Structure 1
Amino acid sequence: MTKNILCIAIFALCSITSIAQSKKETEKQEQVKNLVWNENDPYRNVMEISENWKNESAVFLVKTVKYIYNRPGNSIEYTKIERERIKLLDQAAVTEYSEFAYTEGKVFYREMSRVTNTFHLGVKVIKPDGEEIEIDVNQESVTTNNEKKIAIPSLEKGDIIDYYFYTNTIVGENDLYQYEPVENTIGDNYPIAKFEFLLETEDDFFINFSTYNGAPKLQQIVEPTKKDKKRVYSFTAENVERNDFPRWFFPLVELPSYKFQVLFARSGKYEKKAYAFIPEDVNTVKTNVSKEEIFNLYEDKFRPYGELGDVERFLKNKNFATNEEKVKEVFYYIRHAYYTNYVEAFVMDEANIMYPFMLYGKNPIIFNNEVDFVRFFTAFLKDNKIDYEIIVGTQRYNGDIKDLLLESNINFILKVNTEKPVYIEFFDAYATPNQLSPLLENTNAYTLKVVDRKHIENIETVKLPTTTYKENNSTEKTELTFAPDFSGIDINRSFEYNGQTKIDEQKSILMYYDYVYEDHAKYETEPILDRVKNKRDQEKYKNEYAALLKKLKNNQQEKIKERTAGEYNLKIDNYSFKIIKNGRFGKEDSFEYTENFTIGNDLIKTAGKNYILDIGKLLVSQVDLSNKEKNRTNNIYMSYPRSFNYQIVVNIPDGYSVSGLENLAGNVENETGGFKSSAALDGNRLVVKIQKFYKNNYEPNAKWPQMVAFLEAASQFTQAKILLKKV
């Protein structure tokens, strides 16, 4: 009886708590709603659009975004309110806005501070006659995989959707806190009648903010007083035309945009600890970062430092023909000793097989940031009397280095001044010397000049090197063998990637076990299970690890199989693949793998006693431009110049000949790139050779028609057919 009473009491207490929380949440939702939809809302009756936008899919009547940074008590608070009011003019827009998805806020701990995230969504539909229908978000939402989705019923052309997203983050007591940077264009996929931006801060919040490419300048509209330290900044834009944001485009480089970052420092001593470019005082908005400021921030950040005992032991009794060779070999050693050597440990830990890091001794060195790596590597250079400089660059989609505003947009590169300069970026498992990020190639950068291999004493502007389309090449060979009754095709493919083309492929295809054991053998280090000395534990971990490896390898094969099936848009069977070379030791070291599979007769059509082969469809993943894309107005920004070489070999069945080779020959080349194809018979084999290449990483819009010419030639080739004729 007592137990039942206790249960009832607990249930009642939980119910009361739940009701209280629900009531509190409802009150908060009402408060948020009143921040956006209230009697003083200047946009509540805005319903009409400009006549010149009548043929658009949709038009934003208003788009506002407000950022608020304040400090309640000892905490710091961040609030973002986005509000959009959009008129839907066709069925495509109606379909797009028929569902909303979001995730709920939560409480967690970060950097020893309690962090509370809160999220609210409000949605209402305004009919052409002015009737407003507010959607009950809580009632209508459906949760799937921690994501809430809300269907918006009965939407029609001519309706207006008015909605807001409210995000609030409170960080517990913190003396120094840098918020994530914000980088956005003003424009969208639909025209915007009015765009409004607001930024509100108070004491101890420092602001870096600038607008670009013709965007309005930020204006201060509320200044602090003795009683109220609030500062408010704003800018507005009207009649913003839509942009299609096409492929090969860097919006922040060309479109009106804004970037900013806010940093909180509770006092002057914390301002000095901030690893960022910040204004001299809270009342000044920092709009750019000068070359001199970069020098001042990094002058003391990169003093050489590191325990080089392992490197010295690696170098012992080794002779190198040049310092260039020495630098490269030490880089590969460091990449293993302080990175790939620990990959298995992180896998073991994540899979909860064991806690492995005690097997590496006290305080193992693991590089996980650029500054530590640069200081360590320059310590090696200093000890070996090899000159160097440190380059500060930014990737092309951020704009030019002279417009730098955010420290997070910086990349560091070591330029080692050996017989031939060696460029080194912070490494991952695939990094090699002289293999820069393609988005840094041919950009302006600053170089920090180092004297006596220790002191940074000057800064200069430099241009980073670039690669050519011939260096960045891939070769794909596809060989077809027909089933005796033409019911299917066996396909063997081989791939070879060089230069910049291999980086993404390595990251997409390779798993850690495709290179870690090679590294252990090369550098005579122990795989993790060899470090476990207790035989019983070793056997237990070995069994669990073997099961994990089997699962990972199956997943890897299935992932690559799905990718290949997606390229052909066909069902494939009997799939297998094999890594030939992982391409991790040198810019010129190619990444190679093969795959084998079968497909049905989807590419084969009967024609009496003969067969038609859709041979063009074997040239997969070609750009198929829509009419809209052909009328592009934006300039063209690509990652890097590149070339693709294809060879398609068709084994001709006995008793058949081939006709239609003239359909496989083509040649389109101009100053932007080209597409070439040819076909010839070699005994009972048809050999088709194809080359496609992009000569530059950037083309002005005026040259877009030239690009369209060779892109269309490649696309048209995919429709080519040949006839296998019964002899």
Structure 2
Amino acid sequence: MKKITYLLLIFFLKISIASAQDEKIAQKFWDGSQADNLDIPDKWRNESAVILFQEYNYGYEEPGKRVRYTKSIHKRIKLLDKAAVEEFSEFNFVKSFKVSKGFFDKGGNQVLGIKIIKPSKEEKIISIEEEAIKNDKDEYKIAIPGLEVGDIIDYFAYKTEEFKSDVFLFDVNTEILSDYYPCKQYVFELKTTKDFFLNFGTYNGAPEIEEVETKKRKERKYVFVAHDIEKNDFPMWFYPQVELPFYKFQLTYGLSVNNADNAYHNFLSKDIKEVKSTVTQEDVLNFFSYPNRYRKLKISKHLKKFSKKYLKGKTLSKEEQVEETYYFLRHFVLTQYIQPTIISKLDVKNTLSPFDYYYQKVGGRILVPSTLNNQFKFCLDFAGFLSANEIPFELLVAMPKFKGGVEELISIDEVELLLKINFEKPIYISYYDKFSTLTANSPFLENTEVYALPYDNKKKEISDIYKLTIPESKANENSSLESMSVSFEDNFSTINLDTENVYKGHLKSTQQENLLYFFDYVEEDNKRFNNPNYFERILSNKKRTRHREKYDAFLDKIKKKREDYMLDRLNNSYQFTIKDQNTEILDTGRKSDSSFLKYKCHFTVENDLIKKAGPNFIFEVGKLNGDQITLDKNERDRELNVYMNFPRSYASEIIVEIPQGYKVLGVEKLAINKSNLYAEFVSTSKIQGNQLIITTKKTYKKSFIEKENWNQLLEVLDASLDFNKQKVLFEKI
């Protein structure tokens, strides 16, 4: 159901085809042109389903002073087995509509249509209004009654919206041609008027678009058609845009500005009539060396104030100045505003906005740091600081590796910006989030080729460009370590487990997002920069007390939410049921690159993992290593290369207290060693006093593995599964 749900969520559909206009829209899709498209090629007879026809249609028009955007998807699918019938027996969507661009001007129109064609060619149109059932909030589902093997389901989703704007970039549309089912025919059509720039690229063997003539003088139309597209299972550890045929495009509208100003907003063709299919190195240089962008950089007033307040009088190296400034900006723009944001959403009576206690006057104007809250403004702001302190740097223009290479760039919206600071050992920094540390960049930029634009501090400009590759982190830099102690109570019926978990590198950032809440780090940042928190800014004791009570009550709810989350997390992490748990954060891992996320957890297991065997007990100790990756037969037979986000390692140390009056047998089976060029799993075990001590370590050494070497990775995955099956015997002495 994932594909269907995702498709319909895009459109924010309404649940009926009722008006005459809606009927007219339906006729565009069900005009009879596909009436004879009923059969499938012999080569696909054993497939679960076959897409007979699918069409993606886009329209960008400029009627008067408004912009009208339309999008539709039409699919016709033949169901060949019970699995396909089940897959298409329910549609999910939301009954709402939002305009995401420009200024809302006129109500949009959204239509969904579904019909079933029986093998006898009898057609049944599903009554959306009658069949839709409200699920939760604004979510709906439609059950398709009477669906059978051999049926054809024909559905479309259509939306249109109108709004006002002078200049803006529409979202980049990206589509993979492959689907979970093979496709007989794939049609793409795009209509636009003369006031739109078009950037369009096709990759990995996708068809090129062709411009076709239309009867309207101001209209332009582009199409392509593809046939016999094989299915793809989209396995784990795979980047579709690196290997599969796909296309992407973006339109830029600019009615009231000249061509020079248009170039300020995006990588555009010189002639609006020309389709821009590639962004060259020269285009990138011209964009970022554009007047008033990265020329004559100056330090911003808030960073100048920070330098005087926090850096003056301190003996700091250039590297230390950069580090302190980065963390100040993270706090200045993000974390200091978390408390007032929460207060603003609570039911507190106040004549002032909570943010009024924070806004500062700089240079005669009120500074709202949220205006710095994007990667372009961050890089410009930080570059001004670097330039003022004569610290050499380069601007890096990158694209995440799962989107392909930087040479496949077509839009400024795809760009990821970084700064390479040229110390003796260069460092790479990028836009911060609540948890980021100085050089903790996105793993999706590692080992990618990027454009580098050095800033000339003498000329105060960017005038050169070249390519470099961002280094890739190593597995031991992205690691986790779980230290677990295990003890038994009540004649083995209760198991107490205490863990301490440590994460670093890219594994740290993932866990921070899941585990940390604002109360874990807001005060940490306030103290670091001697910045009063929200309550210290309120002069009225009465008001402060009232706000604090509301705030603390909210904190109690959030802390309970984390406890519930942790219980679910533990139950999903192990192959046994956790009863109780308590978690304590020891270190947020946000202070520097060298700080780790640390937390400890206590939980219990009852009447599980232990089986009585006469006077002895069998202990499924291998399951303490946590749930491991299990692949079915289809997943094991892989024909695609492996793309992991980054190298990484997972280690554990398990210390089991041996109950008095027992000894442990079968320890030797816990020692496993499977290692190759791409991955490894190593476990050891020993008896030391009254403790059984077990260590495990699973390492993914490479982020890319050729499909020919997939079996070597499988060997390691199987070894970790074998460990989880191991048991030891507590034998009565």
TM-score, reference length from structure 2: 0.93
Is 2:523 aligned against 1:523?
A: no
Corresponding residue SS for 1:402? helix
1:217 to 1:352, Cα distance in 2 relative to 1, 3 A: farther
Alignment partners' CA distance in 2, 1:23 and 1:130: 24
Corresponding residue SS for 1:573? coil
Deviations 1:418-452 (A, max 9, x none): 23222111111222222221110111001111111
Alignment partners' CA distance in 2, 1:112 and 1:268: 18
Alignment partners' CA distance in 2, 1:648 and 1:710: 20
Partner of 1:420: 425
Residue 338 of structure 1 aligns to which amino acid in structure 2? V
1:282 to 1:23, Cα distance in 2 relative to 1, 3 A: same
Is this contact kept in 2: 1:302–1:371, CA < 8 A? no
Is 2:144 aligned against 1:149?
A: no
From 551, 574, 591, the equivalent of 2:597 is 591
The 5-angstrom pairing of residues 264-275 of structure 1 reads: 264-269=253-258, 272-273=261-262, 275=265
Residue 573 of structure 1 aligns to which amino acid in structure 2? K
Corresponding residue SS for 2:402? helix
From 334, 338, 347, the equivalent of 1:343 is 338
Shift of 1:22: 12
Partner of 1:318: 314
**Length, aligned pairs only:** 701
From 224, 234, 245, the equivalent of 1:235 is 224
Residue 98 of structure 1 aligns to which amino acid in structure 2? S
Shift of 1:352: 4.9
Partner of 1:610: 616
Is 2:351 aligned against 1:356?
A: no
Is this contact kept in 1: 2:16–2:129, CA < 8 A? no
Is 2:31 aligned against 1:35?
A: no
Partner of 1:294: 284
Q: Which runs of 5+ in 1 are unaligned?
A: 1-20
The 5-angstrom pairing of residues 155-234 of structure 1 reads: 155-171=147-163, 173-223=164-214, 228-234=217-223
Corresponding residue SS for 2:157? strand
The 5-angstrom pairing of residues 398-417 of structure 1 reads: 398-417=403-422
From 378, 382, 391, the equivalent of 1:386 is 391
Is this contact kept in 1: 2:681–2:719, CA < 8 A? yes
Is this contact kept in 2: 1:265–1:271, CA < 8 A? no
Residue 142 of structure 2 aligns to which amino acid in structure 1? I
Partner of 2:251: 262
Corresponding residue SS for 1:326? helix
Is this contact kept in 2: 1:108–1:116, CA < 8 A? no
Residue 558 of structure 1 aligns to which amino acid in structure 2? D
Residue 363 of structure 1 aligns to which amino acid in structure 2? L
Corresponding residue SS for 1:348? helix
Shift of 1:575: 1.3
From 703, 708, 713, the equivalent of 1:697 is 703
Alignment partners' CA distance in 2, 1:615 and 1:117: 59
Alignment partners' CA distance in 1, 2:414 and 2:133: 38
Corresponding residue SS for 2:159? strand
Shift of 1:337: 2.6
1:564 to 1:53, Cα distance in 2 relative to 1, 3 A: same
Is 2:336 aligned against 1:332?
A: no
Alignment partners' CA distance in 2, 1:325 and 1:174: 44
Is 2:476 aligned against 1:470?
A: yes
Shift of 1:108: 6.0
Is 2:98 aligned against 1:69?
A: no
Alignment partners' CA distance in 2, 1:194 and 1:408: 30
Is this contact kept in 1: 2:17–2:23, CA < 8 A? no
Is this contact kept in 1: 2:333–2:373, CA < 8 A? no
Alignment partners' CA distance in 2, 1:681 and 1:239: 62
Corresponding residue SS for 1:482? strand
Corresponding residue SS for 1:285? coil
Deviations 1:571-616 (A, max 9, x none): 3233110111111122221111111111112211111111111112
Alignment partners' CA distance in 2, 1:352 and 1:237: 57
Alignment partners' CA distance in 1, 2:229 and 2:180: 10
Partner of 2:233: 244
From 99, 103, 114, the equivalent of 2:94 is 103
1:199 to 1:271, Cα distance in 2 relative to 1, 3 A: farther
1:439 to 1:107, Cα distance in 2 relative to 1, 3 A: closer
Alignment partners' CA distance in 2, 1:546 and 1:613: 44
Is this contact kept in 2: 1:415–1:424, CA < 8 A? yes
Shift of 1:329: 2.0
1:451 to 1:185, Cα distance in 2 relative to 1, 3 A: same
The 5-angstrom pairing of residues 645-656 of structure 1 reads: 645-656=651-662
Provide the identity percentage: 34
Deviations 1:492-534 (A, max 9, x none): 1111111221110111111111111111112111011110111
Partner of 2:580: 574
From 711, 721, 728, the equivalent of 1:715 is 721
Partner of 1:14: none
Alignment partners' CA distance in 2, 1:165 and 1:246: 27
Corresponding residue SS for 2:238? coil
The list of structure 1 runs, each at least 4 consecutive aligned residues, that deviate by more than 3 angstroms after superposition, is: 21-25, 105-113, 350-354
Is this contact kept in 2: 1:424–1:433, CA < 8 A? yes
Partner of 1:309: 305
Alignment partners' CA distance in 1, 2:545 and 2:167: 48
Residue 256 of structure 2 aligns to which amino acid in structure 1? S
Corresponding residue SS for 1:548? helix
Alignment partners' CA distance in 2, 1:460 and 1:271: 25
Alignment partners' CA distance in 2, 1:495 and 1:476: 5
Alignment partners' CA distance in 2, 1:572 and 1:161: 44
From 115, 123, 135, the equivalent of 1:124 is 115
Residue 215 of structure 1 aligns to which amino acid in structure 2? A
1:312 to 1:352, Cα distance in 2 relative to 1, 3 A: farther
Q: Which runs of 5+ in 2 are unaligned?
A: 1-13, 360-365
Shift of 1:116: 3.2
Residue 375 of structure 1 aligns to which amino acid in structure 2? L
Is this contact kept in 2: 1:609–1:725, CA < 8 A? yes
Alignment partners' CA distance in 2, 1:252 and 1:115: 36
Is this contact kept in 1: 2:113–2:155, CA < 8 A? yes
Shift of 1:270: 7.4
Shift of 1:569: 4.6
Is 2:289 aligned against 1:283?
A: no
Alignment partners' CA distance in 1, 2:381 and 2:96: 40
Alignment partners' CA distance in 1, 2:15 and 2:481: 61
Cα RMSD after superposing both structures = 1.9
Partner of 1:5: none
TM-score, reference length from structure 1: 0.93
The 5-angstrom pairing of residues 391-540 of structure 1 reads: 391-452=396-457, 454-540=460-546
Residue 358 of structure 1 aligns to which amino acid in structure 2? D
Shift of 1:107: 6.1
Deviations 1:435-491 (A, max 9, x none): 221110111001111111631111111111111112211101222111122222111
Residue 530 of structure 1 aligns to which amino acid in structure 2? E
The 5-angstrom pairing of residues 589-668 of structure 1 reads: 589-668=595-674
Is 2:374 aligned against 1:374?
A: no
1:500 to 1:102, Cα distance in 2 relative to 1, 3 A: same
Shift of 1:102: 1.4
Is this contact kept in 2: 1:494–1:595, CA < 8 A? yes
